[in-house]
Amino acid sequence: MNQRLALVTGVTGYIGGRLVPELLAADFRVRAMVRNPRRLRDREWYDDIEVVEADAGNAEQVRTAMDGVDVAYYLIHSLGTGKRFEARDRHNALTFGSMAREADVQRIVYLGGLYPEGEELSPHLDSRREVGEILLASGIPVTVLRAAVILGSGSASFEMLRHLTERLPVMITPRWLGTRIQPIAVRDVLHYLVGSASMPAEVSRGFDIGGPDVLTYRDMMQQYAKVAHLNQRRILTLPLLTPSLSSHWVGLVTPVPSSIARPLVDSLIHEVICKEHDIAKYVPDPQPGLIGFDRAVELALLRVQDFDVTTSWASAAMPGAPSDPLPGDPDWSGGSLYVDERESVVPVSPERLWKVVEGIGGGNGWYSWRLGWWARGLLDRLFGGPGLRRGRRNPRDLSVGDPLDWWRVEDLEETKLLRLRAEMRLPGLAWLELIVDHDEADRTVFRQRALFHPRGLPGHLYWWSIKPFHGIIFGGMQRNIAKAAIGPDPHGP
């Protein structure tokens, strides 16, 4: 039996990039339609798909991309693209629908927004509604899935919730925090998207999709705080805080751009609850059932202690986990990770530099500001942490799992990498990476990275309070380790 060919648009976006591997796993052939194919080259599935360069507004290019396609996923919208986005959305949808009909595509699947009937909608939500109606009128079978807040790291709605909750233990908020919402986990959205490709030809309509929980935005913030092990947030409502002011407030407090925050905030004034669950007649719910809010947040939160933090933060997620950030997600997705990164060329062999690196800590010290390290160790002991008293198991060799003063060896690659995870008392998670590498001229390079994943506002304040001392602490460590490697053999003859 021939594999069905699925065309995916919006593949550099949040849902599109996660849908591709799900379709491949479901035994579809996948063709990605993208304006700039180079943006896909860092995806792990790039070699498994066909890529066509096309602009959604160019009828000829879209028609070419549609050739031989069985099901076409329309995942394009103009959130955050500025004025006249409604006209752009309208033109793109009309072009896509007419070209799909001309190419004899069997079905279009569109992911739109959940909206209440009989209300004056926000411009963003009204445009999503209109696009669905345009596609339904295209003359071929169409599935329109309508979702509210999608829970997954990288989703703009989820990132706004994440950053507001983590950064503000006390906040004055607008009235829309009392609006009821039926969020849905990204994994369940992908389940319905893939399943919609196989609907009977006579089915052409819209479906509401949502998770099992109906919550106010305030409830979601409090539940997020609970799952993330943050203190309960103190929330005061200010009725005079308009959506316009709210969007500026969100833009100030979070890294979500105002151009995206504004339409999202405008849409939050609407109560968005599923009115039906007819989708289950054609696409059975995933087993063992739809994911609830708390579990969806658990899946979306980065369990960074399980990840390879040597990679970039955006690509540090475990493969196959759609709740985690992907390389193409915005820089403001995936939570905060602060990094102090330094490197220098050291005129010795990698083996000689590694001897110094592996011998760090304990009686050998940390090759840095001794008084600063001693004071930090004393402070850690006062708050119940290990301080510097644990020392080393062996004066020369380290193994994964060894305690090393207030650190623990998390990963070790002989002559190349030493990664330490902090066990001191901190408002967050911290690592120190010491890497022996070489450059294009085959010179030995010493790379050093300190990484910190803050927990709540105290974590952010902690990082910025110690940042002025990084030059002394980490800069000194970089220089002194190099100097020790150049000097007499640290382990003797």
Q: Give mean pLDDT, residues 342-354.
A: 92
Instruction: Name 173's bridge partners.
Output: 237
Tokens 């008392």 sit at which residue?
A: 425
Q: Give mean pLDDT, residues 51-58.
A: 94
Q: Which of 253, 280, 315 is the last residue of a domain?
A: 315
Instruction: Judge if 269 and 364 occupy the same domain.
Output: no
450-482 tens-digit pLDDT: 888 887 778 888 888 888 888 888 888 889 899
Position 158 pLDDT exceeds 50: yes
Examine residue 293 and state whether it is found in any structural domain, yes or no.
yes
Instruction: Judge if 405 and 310 occupy the same domain.
Output: no
Phi, psi of 208 (to 5 degrees): -85, 135
Q: What gap in Å lies between CA 304 and CA 316, rounded to an integer?
A: 8
> Above pLDDT 70, what percent of the chain?
78
Q: How many domains does the chain have?
A: 2
Which pLDDT does position 394 carry in this prediction? 79
Rg (CA), the chain: 26
Q: Give mean pLDDT, residues 101-109.
A: 97
- Mean pLDDT, all residues of the chain: 83
Q: What gap in Å lies between CA 389 and CA 378, rounded to an integer?
A: 9
Q: Reply yes or no: is the peptide bond before residue 21 cis, omega within 30 of 0.
A: no
Q: Which of 315, 348, 383 is the last residue of a domain?
A: 315
User: How many residues make up the chain in this entry?
Assistant: 493
Which pLDDT does position 23 carry in this prediction? 97
Examine residue 38 and state whether it is found in any structural domain, yes or no.
yes
Q: Which of 315, 348, 374 is the last residue of a domain?
A: 315
Joined together, the tokens standing for residue 58 give: 């160019």
Q: What gap in Å lies between CA 187 and CA 189, rounded to an integer?
A: 5
Joined together, the tokens standing for residue 23 give: 């379709």
Q: What gap in Å lies between CA 311 and CA 36, rounded to an integer?
A: 24
Joined together, the tokens standing for residue 221 give: 């913030």
Task: Find the CATH number of the domain harbouring 51.
Answer: 3.40.50.720
- Calculate the alpha carbon distances from 36 to 90, 165, 207, 315, 328 in Å: 22, 35, 32, 20, 12
Which pLDDT does position 244 carry in this prediction? 60
How many beta carbons lie within 10 A of that of residue 216, not counting itself?
15
Phi-psi region at 51: left, alpha or beta (left = phi > 0; alpha = psi -120 to 50): beta
Instruction: Judge if 343 and 307 occupy the same domain.
Output: no
Query: pTM for the full model?
Result: 0.70
Which pLDDT does position 376 carry in this prediction? 67
Q: What gap in Å lies between CA 259 and CA 79, rounded to an integer?
A: 8
Instruction: Judge if 346 and 292 occupy the same domain.
Output: no
Which pLDDT does position 255 carry in this prediction? 65
Confidence of residue 132 (pLDDT cuts 50, 70, 90): very high
Instruction: Judge if 343 and 205 occupy the same domain.
Output: no
The pairs formed by 474-477 with CB atoms below 8 angstroms and a separation of 24 or more are 474/340, 474/342, 474/368, 474/448, 474/450, 475/342, 476/367, 476/368, 476/369, 477/366, 477/367, 477/368, 477/448
How many beta carbons lie within 10 A of that of residue 72, not counting itself?
30
Instruction: Judge if 84 and 148 occupy the same domain.
Output: yes
Q: Could you write out the three-class secondary structure of 100-117?
A: HHHCCCCEEEEEEECCCC
Angle between the 243-253 and 156-167 helix axes, to the nearest 10 degrees? 70
What is the DSSP track for 273-316?
Answer: --S--GGGGTSPPPTT-PPPHHHHHHHHS--GGGS-TTS-GGG-
Collect all residues with Cβ–Cβ distance below 8 Å to 92 and sequence separation of at least 6: 56, 57, 76
Least confident of 65-69, 101-105, 425-429: 425-429
Position 339 pLDDT exceeds 60: yes
Confidence of residue 11 (pLDDT cuts 50, 70, 90): very high
Pairing between strand 107-113 and 142-147? Answer: parallel
Instruction: Judge if 141 and 266 occupy the same domain.
Output: yes
Collect all residues with Cβ–Cβ distance below 8 Å to 365 and sequence separation of at least 6: 373
Instruction: Judge if 165 and 49 occupy the same domain.
Output: yes
- The segment with the largest mean pLDDT, out of 102-111, 155-164, 256-265, 355-364, is 102-111
Examine residue 322 and state whether it is found in any structural domain, yes or no.
no
Q: What gap in Å lies between CA 358 and CA 361, rounded to an integer?
A: 9
- Calculate the alpha carbon distances from 286 to 72, 194, 213 in Å: 22, 11, 16
Q: Say if CB 244 and CB 176 are below 8 A apart.
A: no
Instruction: Judge if 296 and 372 occupy the same domain.
Output: no
Which residue, 96, 77, 73, 94, is CA-closest to 144? 73
Position 69 pLDDT exceeds 60: yes
Instruction: Judge if 131 and 208 occupy the same domain.
Output: yes
Examine residue 187 and state whether it is found in any structural domain, yes or no.
yes
Q: What gap in Å lies between CA 307 and CA 318, rounded to an integer?
A: 7
Phi, psi of 258 (to 5 degrees): -60, -30
Examine residue 327 and state whether it is found in any structural domain, yes or no.
no
Examine residue 329 and state whether it is found in any structural domain, yes or no.
no
Joined together, the tokens standing for residue 154 give: 């990288």
The domain in which residue 366 lies consists of 338-486
Q: What gap in Å lies between CA 445 and CA 129, rounded to an integer?
A: 55
207 burial level (CB within 10 Å; 0-12, 13-18, 19+): buried
Q: Say if CB 404 and CB 362 are below 8 A apart.
A: yes
What is the DSSP track for 154-184?
Answer: T-HHHHHHHHHHHH-SEEEE-GGGG-EE--E
Position 309 pLDDT exceeds 60: no
Position 8 pLDDT exceeds 60: yes
Which pLDDT does position 411 carry in this prediction? 87
224-274 tens-digit pLDDT: 999 988 888 887 666 665 556 655 666 666 666 666 766 677 777 788 999
Instruction: Judge if 418 and 291 occupy the same domain.
Output: no
Examine residue 493 and state whether it is found in any structural domain, yes or no.
no
Instruction: Name 422's bridge partners.
Output: 407
Task: Find the CATH number of the domain harbouring 461.
Answer: 3.30.530.20
Examine residue 324 and state whether it is found in any structural domain, yes or no.
no
Instruction: Judge if 203 and 97 occupy the same domain.
Output: yes
